[in-house]
Amino acid sequence: MTKKTTIDFEALLEKVNADFPTYQVLDQDGNVVNPDLMPELSDEELVELMTRMVWSRVLHQRSTALNRQGRLGFYAPTAGQEASQLASHFAFEKEDVLLPGYRDVPQLIQHGLPLKEAFLWSRGHVAGNLYPEELKALPPQIIIGAQYVQAAGVALGLKKRNKKNVVFTYTGDGGSSQGDFYEAINIAGAYKANAVFYIQNNGFAISTPRDKQTSAETLAQKAVAAGIPGIQVDGMDPLAVYAVSKLARDWSIAGNGPVLIETLTYRYGPHTLSGDDPTRYRSKEMDDEWELKDPLIRFRKYLEAKGLWSESKEEAVIEQAKEDIKEAIAEADRVPKQKVSDFLKNMFEVQPQTIKEQIEFYEAKESK
């Protein structure tokens, strides 16, 4: 007789979901709960990080208002994700290459994109996509997850040229359900490319909750299939996000290959300001729970306890941010509006006769 073999699938499932803890340094009251993960940041660096996060919150508030006034086009809210975005970016160098998604404009600005160009990009103006060579970044990707494939390619290029820099890129929890996501981490892992991949898990892909997208207990564990490290971190904790990001960057540039980081975060506003209504799929209780974890409140408490932050200092940052935004939107307003002839000129490097004729037609029309 053939001996019957049984497989304990429950035990297998426990093994699959094991060993993916959520790393944290500060609790929501600003207390240090994991000193072993505490990053080595000077007082000046801690203040600079908080300054960038506050500046980003003001940018979100003003961008929302400008959108409602019709002075901005596409806008994806960022409030709540300041630690996930700015603390991760803080761990990288200017020569590292940033490939952002459409919600990642704050990182792009900190990486060197003038605010005026960020506003022009929101308006769909070609000038918002013309980057100087010294800016190591690509414009925000609208196609969900496509920046991951681009990042894998750029990372392979860095490795081939023996560059001691990395590519870092972001997508949301919905992006981790895309085919581009799997293809990118797989090929980057196979060739040990210099890359750090972020999943900003804010709980919802527009209105689809994370638990409806995948049976995986964490999104970080998706790294296992690609043979690369996967780490889950409290995305509302700037010190934990920075610490994990710095370790991931060091690991990657040492030739060990890419890292996948899942940040558990929350967007306080809608998915975008293009008609999404979060009250249809998120409860007030959920919003209230996450507002208690606000990264600015948490970090503020920590810095105030160290004597590094105050209400007056924060007010100064807020006022400076408002001035910067006011000046940048005025500069964007002064940029000549696009014309049909401009669009046609940008279509081909070598223009076919049919396009030349259309350019001549529209230029004559536009000059009247």
Of 98, 174, 86, 175, which is closest to residue 140 (Cα–Cα)? 98
User: What would the pLDDT profile of 180-218 be if each residue is shown by its tens digit?
Assistant: 999 999 999 999 999 999 999 999 999 999 999 999 999
Given 125, 267, 282, 298, the catalytic residue: 267
Given 271, 282, 298, 300, the catalytic residue: 271
User: What would the pLDDT profile of 137-187 be if each residue is shown by its tens digit?
Assistant: 999 999 999 999 999 999 999 999 999 999 999 999 999 999 999 999 999
Given 23, 131, 191, 281, the catalytic residue: 281
DSSP string, 192-210: T-SEEEEEEE-SEETTEEG
Structure tokens at 59: 């940018």
- Distance, CA of 343 to CA of 11 (rounded, Å): 59
Pairing of strands 230-234, 22-23: parallel
In this predicted structure, what is the pLDDT of residue 1?
52
Q: Where does the pLDDT of residue 15 fall: very low under 50, low under 70, confident under 90, or very high at 90 and above?
A: confident
Helix (H) or strand (E) holding 223: none
Q: Is the dihedral of CA 76, 79, 81, 83 positive or negative?
A: positive
Q: Where does the pLDDT of residue 8 fall: very low under 50, low under 70, confident under 90, or very high at 90 and above?
A: confident
Q: Would you say residue 254 has pLDDT above 80?
A: yes
125: annotated active-site residue: no
DSSP state of 44: H
Q: Is the dihedral of CA 253, 258, 103, 288 positive or negative?
A: negative
Record the pTM.
0.94
In this predicted structure, what is the pLDDT of residue 275?
82
In this predicted structure, what is the pLDDT of residue 4?
61
Q: Would you say residue 131 has pLDDT above 70?
A: yes
Tracing tokens 């940052």 back to the chain, one arrives at 317
266: annotated active-site residue: no
89: annotated active-site residue: no
In this predicted structure, what is the pLDDT of residue 323?
97
Q: Within its chain, how far is the Cα of 220 from the centroid?
A: 16
Q: In what order do the strands lie in the sheet with 22-23?
A: 22-23, 230-234, 259-264, 195-201, 167-172, 97-99
Residues 96/237/250/199 CA torsion (nearest 10 deg): -60
Q: Within its chain, how far is the Cα of 231 from the centroid?
A: 16
Question: Quick check: 258 and 185 in contact, CB under 8 A?
Answer: yes
Give the length of the chain: 368
